[in-house]
């Protein structure tokens, strides 16, 4: 299985702090993707990093990818209460996206 | 921005009954997927569909499940004889090209299925 696994399972921070979530996967990939899920809603795509990329930015999001360690991290800078959600990584090879269990992020105002 | 729509948002059914969950993918997308998420758990892949046939399916997608694209817009998931353990959120998703070609999934907001 190339399933992504996020770490930590839950994270609680104060508004304004940075949040870092990690993800590991098992097999070779074409890309790795991060998604956000608000409670009871669908997943929303945040950012995609290709296997030949090492870092990518989108607004307050920064994603890194280390294919030698089969790991990725998502950094949310200057967090806001509205960032409270579950965050999932998903690895993509030649099979459909496989999601991990997610990190539940709580940002306290 | 175009979006994937799912109906109904909540479906309650009795064990043994058949249910059909409906999805309207984004209109120019070619690849369609069903995922499910048991409350508080990971998002699990069920099936992918391309060119009017199943391209991949998981172990969860057994004989009680089927998918269909009955017309040019709808994509349905049928559960033939529901079990208690089928209670979950079911998400439909679509992409223009396959996800291995660096295309993200566009998800609907899901149907919450409750089997009693």
3-class secondary structure for A16-81? CCCEEEEEECCCCCCEEEEEEECCCCCEEEEEEEECCCCEEEECCEEEEEECCCCEEEEEECCCCH
User: Stretch A65-81: mean pLDDT, rounded?
Assistant: 96
pLDDT band (50, 70, 90) for residue A3: low
pLDDT at residue number B98? 78
Average pLDDT, chain B: 93
Chain A interface includes B74 (CB < 8 A): no
The DSSP code for B100 is G
pLDDT at residue number B13? 98
Query: Quick check: A88 pLDDT over 80?
Result: yes
Query: Quick check: A73 pLDDT over 60?
Result: yes
User: Stretch A57-71: mean pLDDT, rounded?
Assistant: 96
Nearest to A96 among B56, B109, B112 (CB): B56
pLDDT at residue number A99? 87
Are A42 and B91 within 8 A, CB to CB?
Answer: yes
Q: Whose CA is closest to B107, among B5, B1, B8? A: B5
Q: For residue A61, give both structure tokens.
A: 């999001």
- pLDDT tens digits, one per residue of B38-86: 987 889 999 999 999 999 999 999 999 999 998 878 999 999 999 999 9
Q: How far apart are the CA of B93 and the nearest CA of chain A, in angstroms?
A: 9
- The SS3 of residue A83 is helix
pLDDT at residue number A7? 83
Query: Quick check: A1 pLDDT over 70?
Result: no
Chain A interface includes B73 (CB < 8 A): no
pLDDT at residue number B85? 96
């Amino acid at each position: 299985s190339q399933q992504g696994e996020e770490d930590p399972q839950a994270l609680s921070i104060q508004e304004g702090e940075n949040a870092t979530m990690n993800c590991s996967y098992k097999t070779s990939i074409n890309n790795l993707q991060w998604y956000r899920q608000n409670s009871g809603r669908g997943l929303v795509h945040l950012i995609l990093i290709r296997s030949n990329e090492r870092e990518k930015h989108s607004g307050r999001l920064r994603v890194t990818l280390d294919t030698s360690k089969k790991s990725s991290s998502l950094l949310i800078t200057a967090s806001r209460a509205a960032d409270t959600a579950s965050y999932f990584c998903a690895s993509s090879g030649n099979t459909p996206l496989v999601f991990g269990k997610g990190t539940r992020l709580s940002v306290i105002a | 921005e175009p979006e994937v729509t799912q109906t109904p948002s909540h479906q309650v059914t009795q064990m043994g009954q058949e249910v059909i969950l409906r999805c309207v993918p984004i209109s120019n997308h070619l690849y369609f997927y069903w995922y499910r998420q048991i409350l508080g758990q990971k998002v699990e892949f069920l099936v992918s569909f391309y060119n009017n046939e199943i391209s991949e399916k998981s172990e969860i997608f057994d004989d009680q499940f089927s998918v269909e694209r009955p017309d040019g817009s709808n994509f349905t998931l049928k559960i033939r004889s529901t079990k208690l353990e089928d209670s979950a959120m079911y998400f439909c998703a679509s992409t223009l090209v396959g996800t291995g070609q660096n295309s993200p999934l566009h998800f609907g907001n899901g149907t919450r299925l409750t089997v009693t």
